[in-house]
A and B are shown apart, each in its own frame.
Chain A
Amino acid sequence: MTADALSLVCNLGVLDSLSEASISEILESWNSFCLITETIVKGDDADLSSSYSKFQSYVSSLCKYGLRSLVEEHFLISLQDMLEKHVAPKFWKNFDAYSNVTDLEENDKDMHEDEVELLLCKALEEISLEKQYQEKYLLMLVKSLQLCQDSTSMEGHPSDVEKFFFSKYHLIISSVLMTTLPRQFPEVLHWYFKGRLEELSTIMAGNYEDSESQDRIGMELYGKGKHPTQFGNMDIDGSYDQKEILENKLVRNIGMVVHNLRSLGFTSMTEDAYASAIFLLLKAKVFDLAGDDYRSSVLESIKEWIQAVPLQFLHALLDYLGDSISYLSPSSMKSPLASSPSSCYPGASKPSEGIIRWQLRLEYFAYETLQDLRIAKLFEIIVDYPDSAPAIEDLKQCLEYTGQHSKLVDSFISALQYRLLTAGASTNDILHQYVSTIKALRTIDPAGVFLEAVGEPIREYLRGRKDTIKCIVTMLTDGTGGNNNGPGNSGDSLLEELNRDEENQETAGLDDDINIDDKQAWIDVQRWEPDPVEADPLKGSRYRRKVDVLGMIVGIIGSKDQLVNEYRVMLAEKLLNKTDYDIDTEIRTLELLKIHFGENSMQKCEIMLNDLIDSKRTNTNVKATINQLSQTGAESQEHEVSFDILDATIISSNFWPPIQDEVVNIPEPVDQLLSDYAKRYHEIKTPRKLLWKKNLGTVKLELEFEDRTLQFTVTPVHASIIMQFQDQTSWNSKNLAAAIGVPVDTLQRRISFWISKGIIAESSGEDSNDHVYTLVDSMADGGKTGINNEELVADDDAERSVASVEDQLRKEMTVYEKFIVGMLKNFGSMALDRIHNTLKMFCVSDPTYDKSLQQLQFFLSGLVAEEKLELRDGMYFLKK
């Protein structure tokens, strides 16, 4: 060993200068040095101070010969050996009981935690003691070396030397411990901290509640900030003192453990352990607070809790450990929060950066956890909207902080597709959900970027449903009774609600149609912000557009024309079935629609409404003049019933949707009235004349029986049917049909109404096609009519006075039928778009072909159903 050691000295020339005596001196010193090192390090030496002087002399003699580095190394190596062979194994043996980690994880946690605490404390104390001894030895070496300093040139400050050695020692001890680390140690640490934190949190929770109540009083008295003060608080309560002491003791214990762990070089592991414990606790707390209750905002209380428990703990801990500087990297940025002293602790010093960092970390974690929770339940939250508005607010704040909007979009879309867009959901429900989604997401994302993405699948799906347009129109305009679980008050249609909302929001009038004046434009320019990153670049700039609920609803269909058309048909139906001239609600709705869709689109509807207003006036006019005339005796005819019972709605048929016309004979007296009315009208409003649509309108009847009186509001056809029974109580269906002037099958459909009400009874007559209808006088016979109830339901469609949009389409396309048949005859078979293109080319003259591909397809499938065409492999053929 000596030879090798000698060769370490760079200057081999020195060797020549060594005399025999010096070599032997060296050898002697070296041996004794080794021996004494051994005894010292082993700790067997009872009397350290005596060995010290001997030690020192050896060291100095060796140093004289320039063997300083050798000495250092040897000493350190022997320390290391000691650690490896004795100290470390002893330390790790303590935790052998936990070697089977997975088994112990689940069972008897509580018991183990107590054990763990004691064990850990003890083990750490032991090893810290050992370490202290070794450090003492090291100090000896350092001092000895320092004494040699004056003889040889030494660089550095004495304390530098010390630091150098100590850092080397730390490195040694931590590397030894790390390399011999058993698997279960991190787990053990984790358990320990988890247990401590839980204990601490229960104490602090008690404290928190106490101090919260105290705080409230405090707030009333002093009007101070809202965070509870715990350390150094005025103690009103005696028990409060006790808790604080307990807390401090606990913190002190933990602090000691952490300190020991740190000095052993387990810094990162320790931090890891208590960080994960804190996060676990935080997560549990978030789950606890947030839960399934969407009616209250939990974000604030979570933040408060973070302040209260973990941060207090960390604050105390780090203070205890004298934190504030050492283990933070010197280049850490100044956190913006660090400069504001107003948060956290009144009376305490400015929170250190470490605390700030922890706070940020914890808050981020809390935000993320809460956000994940809420996103998972977003579907339910939106169903509950607007009751769950606070939850949406929370989510908004979380998202602002974490910026993980895409997660929301993805998860929500999949939830939607799984739960909403299925065949089992009614169109109405889907639409409602869509509107709620818009409203809810509008608060989170005012620019509507994510709303687009989320709404897309819904829109796609709704376009596939046939009754979408009708539902939309109904939802928009039908106020009372339309939607039981819809938003807004009853009596408020969706449209009115939207209008109200728009007025409440700023710059409601920002429509594409309206010209924006300069001032507004300037304001907009100043407020310009670039689109969020996720915005679809194809969709154009959205900075001006706030989310427009109505626009999105219309966007489902694609264009507003279809909507307007559908509304027109609906409106016509409604107006024709009115018994009075009261159209206030319709006027209101029309005004709102005009705002949204523009005046031109709603022109026809406006004309329809105006017709009604005019007819009211005309009606009074006509009746007044007729009464005058009859008084003056110019009309010599006698009326069984006076004119008071007749009211007429006069429509400009050009602007109304096509009306279903049926021939029917109405009772004679009424007929007479009608023609008189028409005559008067012609006289007043020359050169206009009236054409009666006798099957349309409403009649209010009162049927008097022996034992009861019933009132009905029915169509003229029904009225004339029942009035036939006034004269004759039993009718053959053929005769009845002839009397009323309708075909027999129509009669059967219409009469089922009365049958279902129990007024008329049906029984079979001579032929199989023939039925006999008898008037039912009393309720006793009513039981028989129950059988026919099912047939009634199918009739609703035929009762419509106005042809539906589909029927209209059908009629228009019939013109093209000839073209299509001719084309197919010439070409044999054609695909859909070829037919479409050819029609577009050839039908430029009246009527121009302006149907869409879808409408053509619909029509063609109708023809296929009628067996005029065949569809094979996407090609249409003529049916042979």
Chain B
Amino acid sequence: MHSIPISPWHAVASWTWDAHDETCGIFRMAFDGCCPDCKLPGDACPLTIWGACNHAFLLHCILKWVNSQIPQAHCSMCRREWQFKE
């Protein structure tokens, strides 16, 4: 007997952000979700690139945070000055 899958093997996977923590430090919800302003997770509401201190947040959250903090925003996890990692 010889079995040949004639049609695609349809597999299922779930995606997740490749980050150290599970939750966004600002928003306190799982990364795999989305910030309160967006409806859809994933590319529409992405993770930011890590900050200099290696902490990651949801992009929208950190943008809001940065814009509201003058003059210089601090990373809310380690309180260092926030720099987007290059």
Binding site for B on A (CB under 8 A): 576, 578-579, 603, 606-607, 610, 614, 641, 644-656, 659, 670, 673-674, 678, 681-682, 685-694, 696-705, 711, 716, 719, 722-723, 725-726, 729, 775, 777, 801
Contact = CB atoms under 8 A, between A and B. Distances in A.
Interface residues of B, number: 29
A726 B3 contact: yes
A654 B30 contact: yes
B16 interface: yes
Given A655-B33, A691-B16, A645 B3 contact: no
A702 B4 contact: yes
B11 A697 contact: yes
Contacts of A697: 9-12
Given A606-B39, A645-B9, A685-B43, A653 B1 contact: no
A688 B42 CA distance: 9
Given A607-B41, A726-B2, A700 B15 contact: no
Interface in B26-56: 30, 32-33, 39-43, 47, 49
17 contacts: A607-B39, A645-B8, A646-B9, A651-B14, A652-B15, A653-B32, A654-B41, A659-B14, A688-B17, A689-B16, A693-B14, A697-B10, A697-B12, A700-B5, A701-B5, A716-B9, A726-B3
B19 interface: yes
Given A670-B9, A699-B5, 7 more contacts: A645-B9, A650-B15, A673-B9, A678-B13, A690-B15, A701-B3, A703-B3
B6 interface: yes
Secondary structure of the A contact surface, majority rule? mixed
Contact of A647 (B11, B15, B39, B40): B11
A703 B1 contact: yes
Nearest to A682: B18
A663 to B, nearest CB: 15
Nearest to B42: A652
Contact of B12 (A648, A688, A725): A648
B69 interface: no
B7 interface: yes
B34 to A, nearest CB: 9
A775 B1 contact: yes
B3 A704 contact: yes
A701 B6 CA distance: 6
B49 to A, nearest CB: 8
A711 B4 CA distance: 10
B40 A610 contact: yes
A704 B10 contact: no
B40 A607 contact: yes
Contacts of A659: 14
Contacts of B42: 614, 652, 688
4 A-B pairs with least C-beta separation: A700-B7, A696-B12, A653-B14, A647-B8
Nearest to A681: B15
A415 B10 CA distance: 52
Interface centre among B14, B30, B32 (most CB of A within 10 A): B14
Contacts of B43: 614, 685
B43 to A, nearest CB: 7
